[in-house]
């Protein structure tokens, strides 16, 4: 019979309930699985859209120019994000030398660091078994691994927000520990210069203040004379921001370059306040993130219905260890839900906190027959989806599969992807039926680990040449000749990043018509120059119908052509 959920979280010291040998073995397996799924495919691909080529290009230009205060994308200042993540990419590139072997390193280390912080804090709050469950809950969530294998800012942001929450919890739940409090505030400041929302962990002080006033249990209560020490947290937060903000502001306000003032205005207002209050894209309804949690945090999110009663009992017991991270999770959801612009990865920083709130009850929930049946149903559905997708693509029943291959310039070799889906779907169903409900946890772990590793090892090499635009730019260079200058029109970051030989660009944010005008003047200024342009633009003088246009290839859902001065005869 399944054991019931406890009425309150387990105490920190419960040696009789632990099995040191089994827990040590489970911990080793956890770290082995974590490294295997996060590192699988490392070094097998170049940066892919979205975002990866942009960030790597910015970091590469930082290294080349030596300007680490004002990021550039091509000839234009890039004000969409603060520079901390670009610094990490540049440091990794400087350390390892190779773009391919360095660009995923910050995300890999950040994701492993997040897991360590969650596991360690869960162990300190309750016991090593609860800490391990917290780490498993984070690692099992599909969105965490997906983002952890991408060179985007979010894994680094999650690591910094988790470090900040870790420091705050060491102080307010396990303290008083002022150094950890200051370190948590400093980490929040670093989060701000990685992405503007890095301050969010400081919101955890709001439920802490309310719980302290109401007399909740398991709260550290510093002496009244600690007021100045609390203010030291604000100084630590501002000091971290000042590492970049102070020299950047000094140079921007000096007025030597008018572009720096525009950069400052764009970053501080349009990309922060305006983007939050009046977003110009990614509009979603207020309940959008509930769907993200339910779907993208699978299979971890399956446990939520069984956690309602334990959390209610923890509320009745006024236990802050469970409810402080849970309250902060709800604050993060509310914060992002209030903005009209929403993207699924925005709420990823809340996942580690939710896992900590789940940790003391996870063992009891896992032993529930209903939860095990839900996991088994998830596994059957997941395996069937993979199998049907692979069979349908091979048989031609799924038109989207053919479009996917055509948009990426893939030929018959795309069948390898479909057979991969067939194999993974079959393996998942075998794991499920072999383990049945009794060993469903092991079956889910095997299925997820196998899926992440196999897709990385098979799909990365197969899709990389097209997804990274490396093959496109190499072919353009072969067609143009070794010393010919190539002008990029309506380009994407991967084209400049993967360019071979001399290239020119005419602005990234400039309207296409303006870029074409500049490009025509540029190609007419010197005989022999070539332009790389997109095809299919109606009413435009450049394109596949231009004189002597050479097809280059298809990449990232776009067809590209190489044209010379003879193609500009109809251009004004």
- Do 402 and 525 belong together in one domain? no
In 3D, which of 494, 513, 469, 518 has the Cα closest to residue 504? 518
pLDDT of the residue at 555: 85
pLDDT tens, the chain, 572 aa long: 333 334 445 544 443 344 678 888 999 999 999 999 999 999 999 999 989 999 999 999 999 999 999 999 999 999 889 999 999 999 999 999 999 999 999 999 999 999 999 999 999 999 999 999 999 999 999 999 999 999 999 999 999 999 999 999 999 999 899 999 999 999 999 999 999 999 999 999 999 999 999 999 999 877 656 678 999 999 999 999 999 999 999 988 887 778 888 888 888 777 677 777 767 677 899 999 999 999 999 999 999 999 999 999 999 999 999 999 999 999 999 999 999 989 999 999 999 999 999 999 999 999 999 999 999 999 999 999 999 999 999 999 999 888 888 877 788 889 999 999 999 999 999 999 999 999 999 999 999 999 999 999 999 999 999 999 999 999 999 999 998 999 999 899 999 999 999 999 999 988 888 888 899 999 999 989 999 998 755 456 776 666 678 889 888 888 899 988 887 777 76
Q: What is the DSSP string of 57-69?
A: HHHHHHHHH---S
CA distance 254 to 274: 25
Range of the domain at 433: 369-467
Looking at the domain assignment, is residue 399 inside a domain?
A: yes
- Do 265 and 337 belong together in one domain? yes
- Do 316 and 386 belong together in one domain? no
- To which residue do tokens 């196999």 refer? 454
35 and 141 in contact (C-beta within 8 Å)?
A: no
82 and 71 in contact (C-beta within 8 Å)?
A: no
- Do 336 and 382 belong together in one domain? no
- Do 145 and 283 belong together in one domain? yes
Token digits of residue 521: 């003047």
Could you tell me which residues are beta bridge partners of residue 346?
Answer: none
- Do 445 and 482 belong together in one domain? no
Domain count, the chain: 3
| Cα dist from 295 to 167, 285, 345, 348, 555, whole Å | 30, 16, 12, 13, 30
- Do 203 and 306 belong together in one domain? yes
* Predicted TM-score of the model (pTM): 0.93
pLDDT of the residue at 411: 84
CA atoms 31, 32, 37, 43: torsion sign: positive
Q: pLDDT per residue over 57-112, tens digit each? A: 999 999 999 999 999 999 999 988 999 999 999 999 999 999 999 999 999 999 99
- Do 373 and 284 belong together in one domain? no
63 and 95 in contact (C-beta within 8 Å)?
A: no
Q: pLDDT per residue over 349-404, tens digit each? A: 999 999 999 999 999 999 999 999 999 999 999 999 999 999 999 999 999 888 88
pLDDT of the residue at 282: 76
- To which residue do tokens 């984070």 refer? 138
In 3D, which of 117, 34, 2 has the Cα closest to residue 359? 117
In 3D, which of 571, 546, 572 has the Cα closest to residue 561? 546
Token digits of residue 430: 């075998």
Q: What letters, b where the CB count within 10 A reaches 16 and e where it falls short, cover 430-465?
A: ebbeebeeeebbebbbbbbbbbbbbbbebbbebbbb
CA angle in degrees (0–180, nearest 5) for 336-342-346 = 60
- Do 324 and 183 belong together in one domain? yes
pLDDT of the residue at 540: 66
CA dihedral of 404, 410, 412, 415, whole degrees rounded to 10: -50
In the listed set 467, 487, 509, which residue is the last one of a domain according to the structure?
467
């Amino acid at each position: 019979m399944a054991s019931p959920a406890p009425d309150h979280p387990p105490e920190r010291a419960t040696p009789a309930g632990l099995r040191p040998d089994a827990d040590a073995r489970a911990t080793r397996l956890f770290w082995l699985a974590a490294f295997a799924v996060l590192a699988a495919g490392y070094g097998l691909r170049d940066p892919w859209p979205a975002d990866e080529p942009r960030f790597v290009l910015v970091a590469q230009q930082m290294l080349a120019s030596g300007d680490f205060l004002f990021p550039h994308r091509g000839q234009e200042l890039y004000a969409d994000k603060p520079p901390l993540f670009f610094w990490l990419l540049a440091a990794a590139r400087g350390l390892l030398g190779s773009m391919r072997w360095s660009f995923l390193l910050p995300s890999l280390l950040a994701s492993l660091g997040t897991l360590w912080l969650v596991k360690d804090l869960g162990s300190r709050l309750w016991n090593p078994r609860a800490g391990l469950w917290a780490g498993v809950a984070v690692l099992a969530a599909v969105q965490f691994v997906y983002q952890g294998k991408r060179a985007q800012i979010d894994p680094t942001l999650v690591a910094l927000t988790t470090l900040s929450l870790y420091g705050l919890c060491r102080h307010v739940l396990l303290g008083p520990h002022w150094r950890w409090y200051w370190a948590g505030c400093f980490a929040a400041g670093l989060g701000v210069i990685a992405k503007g929302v890095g301050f969010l962990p400081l919101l955890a002080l709001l439920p802490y203040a309310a719980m302290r006033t109401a007399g909740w249990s398991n709260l550290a209560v510093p002496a009244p004379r600690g007021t100045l020490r609390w203010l030291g947290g604000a100084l630590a937060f501002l000091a971290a921001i000042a590492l970049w903000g102070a020299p950047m502001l000094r140079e921007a306000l000096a007025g030597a370059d008018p572009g720096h003032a525009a950069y400052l205005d764009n970053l501080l207002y349009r990309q922060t306040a305006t983007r939050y209050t009046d977003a110009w894209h990614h509009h979603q309804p207020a309940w959008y993130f509930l769907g993200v949690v339910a779907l993208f945090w699978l299979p971890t999110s399956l446990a939520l219905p069984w956690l309602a009663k334990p959390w209610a009992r923890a509320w009745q017991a006024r236990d802050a260890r469970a409810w402080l991270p849970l309250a902060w999770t709800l604050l993060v959801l509310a914060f992002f839900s209030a903005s009209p612009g929403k993207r699924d990865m925005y709420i990823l920083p809340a996942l580690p906190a939710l896992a900590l709130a789940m940790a003391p009850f996870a063992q009891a929930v896992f032993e529930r027959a209903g939860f095990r049946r839900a996991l088994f149903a998830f596994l059957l559905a997941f395996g069937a989806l993979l199998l049907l997708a692979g069979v349908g693509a091979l048989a031609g029943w799924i038109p989207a599969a053919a479009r996917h291959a055509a948009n990426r310039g893939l030929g018959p070799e795309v069948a390898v992807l479909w057979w991969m889906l067939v194999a993974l779907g079959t393996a998942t169903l075998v794991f499920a039926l072999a383990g049945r409900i009794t060993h469903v946890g092991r079956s889910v772990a095997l299925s997820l680990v196998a899926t992440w590793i196999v897709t990385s090892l098979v799909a990365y090499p197969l899709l990389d040449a097209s997804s990274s635009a490396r093959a496109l730019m190499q072919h353009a260079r072969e067609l143009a000749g070794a010393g010919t200058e190539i002008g990029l029109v309506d380009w994407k970051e991967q084209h400049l990043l993967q360019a071979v030989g001399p290239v020119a660009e005419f602005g990234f944010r400039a309207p296409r018509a303006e870029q074409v005008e500049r490009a025509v003047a540029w190609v007419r200024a010197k005989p022999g120059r070539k332009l790389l342009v997109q095809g299919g633009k109606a009413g435009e003088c450049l394109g596949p119908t231009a004189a002597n246009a050479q097809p280059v290839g298809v990449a990232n859902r776009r067809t590209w052509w190489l044209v010379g001065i003879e193609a500009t005869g109809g251009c004004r």
